[in-house]
């Protein structure tokens, strides 16, 4: 749809729900500390939107997992990523459901339990993100093999800088000279 495949939709839907869930927990702790009802409402509304958006991201991820090219390494990490994401969203859904059923009329022990569960949810959220990062940045999950091969060829071909253009990276000067050339007449410069 609109030039986006399932993997790209998953990427689009990930960030906002994760941020909302983090903020919901922060609002909740701020409400506990300050005893402000407005922060309780902010916590519940951001939790609502984070849970709804989080499930949309999970669904898009499940669709993407069956449609991307992958080998065994991606498959193993993807399974962990999916399982942790499902558990994380389950935890936040339970917290939301519990809060809605009890309608802010929870004794201190129940509030402490839901806050503890929210912290567990945050840890799951971080671990889900770490695994997702491994999939994309370490294994190029979601990027078609043809695109990866074209990028490898592009990188091997090197590149040229325009006169005066600087390029900062960790490649030593001897290696930089070997990876690209400058057109005749280019003023001396360092990389």
Classify each residue of 138-148 as buried b or exposed e, where b means 16 or more C-beta atoms within 10 Å of its C-beta: ebbbbeeeeee
> Residue 102's pLDDT is what?
84
Side-chain-facing half-sphere of 90: CA atoms under 13 Å: 6
> Model confidence over 62-72: pLDDT tens digits?
998 888 888 88
Once rounded to an integer, what is the mean pLDDT over residues 9-21? 92
Write down the pTM of the prediction.
0.76
Are 47 and 18 contacting, i.e. CB atoms less than 8 angstroms apart? no
> Residue 162's pLDDT is what?
80
More confident position, 185 or 147: 147
Taking 80 as the threshold, does the pLDDT of residue 178 lie above it? no
| Residue closest to 83 by CA, chosen among 10, 132, 118 | 132
Taking 90 as the threshold, does the pLDDT of residue 107 lie above it? no
Side-chain-facing half-sphere of 14: CA atoms under 13 Å: 21
Q: Which residues contact 63 (CB under 8 A, 6 or more apart)?
A: 6, 9, 10
Once rounded to an integer, what is the mean pLDDT over residues 5-30? 92
Taking 60 as the threshold, does the pLDDT of residue 180 lie above it? yes
Are 43 and 24 contacting, i.e. CB atoms less than 8 angstroms apart? yes
Q: How confident is the model at residue 55 (pLDDT cuts 50, 70, 90)?
A: very high
Taking 80 as the threshold, does the pLDDT of residue 2 lie above it? no
Q: How confident is the model at residue 170 (pLDDT cuts 50, 70, 90)?
A: very low
> Residue 82's pLDDT is what?
95
> Residue 17's pLDDT is what?
95
Average pLDDT, the chain: 85
Q: Is the dihedral of CA 138, 144, 150, 151 positive or negative?
A: negative
């Amino acid at each position: 749809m609109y030039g986006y495949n399932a993997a790209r939709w998953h990427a689009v839907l990930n960030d906002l729900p994760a941020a909302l869930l983090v903020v919901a927990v922060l609002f909740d702790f701020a409400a506990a500390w300050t005893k402000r009802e407005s922060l309780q409402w902010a916590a519940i509304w951001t939790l609502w939107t984070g849970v709804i958006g989080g499930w949309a991201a999970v669904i898009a991820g499940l669709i993407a997992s069956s449609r991307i090219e992958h080998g065994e390494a991606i498959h193993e990490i993807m399974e962990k990523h999916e399982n942790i994401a499902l558990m994380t969203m389950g935890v936040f859904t339970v917290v939301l459901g519990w809060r809605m059923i009890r309608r802010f009329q929870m004794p201190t022990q129940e509030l402490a339990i839901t806050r503890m569960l929210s912290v567990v949810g945050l840890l799951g959220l971080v671990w889900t993100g770490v695994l997702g990062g491994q999939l994309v940045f370490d294994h190029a999950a979601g990027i078609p093999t043809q695109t990866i091969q074209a990028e490898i060829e592009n990188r091997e071909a090197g590149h040229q800088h325009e006169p005066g253009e600087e390029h900062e990276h960790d490649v030593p000067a001897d290696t930089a000279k070997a990876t690209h050339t400058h057109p005749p007449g280019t003023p001396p410069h360092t990389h």
